[in-house]
Structure 1
Amino acid sequence: MKKLIAITCLATTIMASGSAMADSIKGKVGVTGRLGFLIPSDNETDIRNNRTDAGFIGGGGVIYGIDDHFAAELDITRAMFGSDTGDFGVTNYSLGGQYRFALPNPQFVPYAGLGLDILVSDYDPDNGTKRDVDTTVGFHVSGGVDYFILKQVALTGEAKFVVAPDTSITSNGSHRGDFDPTSFSSTVGIRYFFN
């Protein structure tokens, strides 16, 4: 019973302090760390269909508040996932913007975003041969929420859909298949604002 009372008091204190301290993002600079899962598109390797598995994604970035509603964001994430024939990895350099909605409770800030993505991919087949995957450019749409637990600290959750054209998988200059970097990811993390 004592543990339940202590946890309830701690949760109430965090919620009360967060609601009293959250304010505008204008002029703020922050860093974000995130982790989650990614659902990739299926691909074609060695001229056959290659089903992919869900994988893990993690990374971080920087956010800057342009005004009360708009923010610019630079994120770098790395996703790893398996397939029928080997393992894929995608490093996403993402530059985007957010529109942050104002709600009566300033502790809870939903947002919608979009932006440009540079996708650097790699493929390691199970048979040990070397494969190269071309880098490609795509775009993303995202939606999420920041929940401020303190004036400078927010818990964040985000869903992101990345769309990009297929890119070639090659071996010694010979075309061996196509890689589709289109994916859906869902992450949770924390943001820390310096000012």
Structure 2
Amino acid sequence: MKKICLLACVALTLALTTGTAMADSIKGRLGVTGRLGFAVPTDGVFANNDTLHDYDTDPDFIFGGGFIYGIDQNWAAEIDVTRTKFDVALPFTGDRNGEIINVSLGGQYRFMPQEKLVPYVGAGLDILINDLKGYSVDTTVGVHGAGGVDYFILKPLALTAEAKIVAGPEADIDRNGTRVGRFSTTNFTSTFGVRFFFN
């Protein structure tokens, strides 16, 4: 039985790395993406006794997913929704949980497939839904730039890796209707995931 399982694993590995895994154009194809990785948020400012102090943030996990559609041989449209939660060390107040939900609308330029690898660059608009536990934080709009690569293991299935930077304005942090700080929405993310194309 162990030999049969071993042979099945070897056969599956060979099947995933043979010519059927050649990259193909995604023109006219719809795909779904799931991703997981790390986010590095930037520091903001917080008021204590009417004096502004920088606050520190910690890198943490980011996860999410979305859809991609091939417009033509090189261009694709993408919508992604990701969520990251991270610790915010407020001066004289203690640690609080910060959160950014990013609804990302963008486009990709995908370089012509070479073997199994398809590198791409992208840019777009980001709706940033921000939160800081115990406070009210404004929703803001930012922009992003990204670069990544898809590695096709089967014609409809690719592994993906991406680095992305989001640049957004600082959002007001309010407590009882009074602004007490500015929440930084700029962040850098590095994610890995899977894309599956339906047609």
Q: TM-score, normalized by length of structure 1?
A: 0.90
Q: Structure 1 runs of 4+ off > 2 angstroms?
A: 2-13, 17-20
The match for 1:134 is 138
- Percent identity, please: 51
Q: 1:188 aligns with which of 163, 181, 192?
A: 192
1-side partners of 2:59 and 2:147: how far apart?
A: 20
SS of equivalent residue, structure 1 residue 99: strand
One-letter amino acid matched to 2:71: I
Root mean square deviation, CA, Å: 1.9
Query: CA offset at residue 56 of structure 1?
Result: 0.9
2-side partners of 1:93 and 1:18: how far apart?
A: 34
**Contact 1:143-1:158 within 8 A present in 2 as well:** yes
Query: CA offset at residue 137 of structure 1?
Result: 0.5
One-letter amino acid matched to 2:139: T
Q: Deviations over 1:21-70 (max 9, x none)?
A: x3111000011010100000011123321110001110010101000100
Q: What stretches of structure 1 of length at least 5 have no aligned partner?
A: 125-129
Q: TM-score, normalized by length of structure 2?
A: 0.88
Number of residue-to-residue matches in the alignment: 188
2-side partners of 1:83 and 1:114: how far apart?
A: 28
The match for 2:86 is 81
The more displaced of 8-17 and 160-169 is: 8-17
Q: What stretches of structure 2 of length at least 5 have no aligned partner?
A: 90-94
Q: Does residue 1:165 correspond to 2:175, yes or no?
A: no
Q: 2:17 aligns with which of 15, 18, 25?
A: 15
Q: 1:30 to 1:3 in 2, by over 3 A?
A: same
Q: Deviations over 1:101-136 (max 9, x none)?
A: 01431x210100000001000001xxxxx3001011
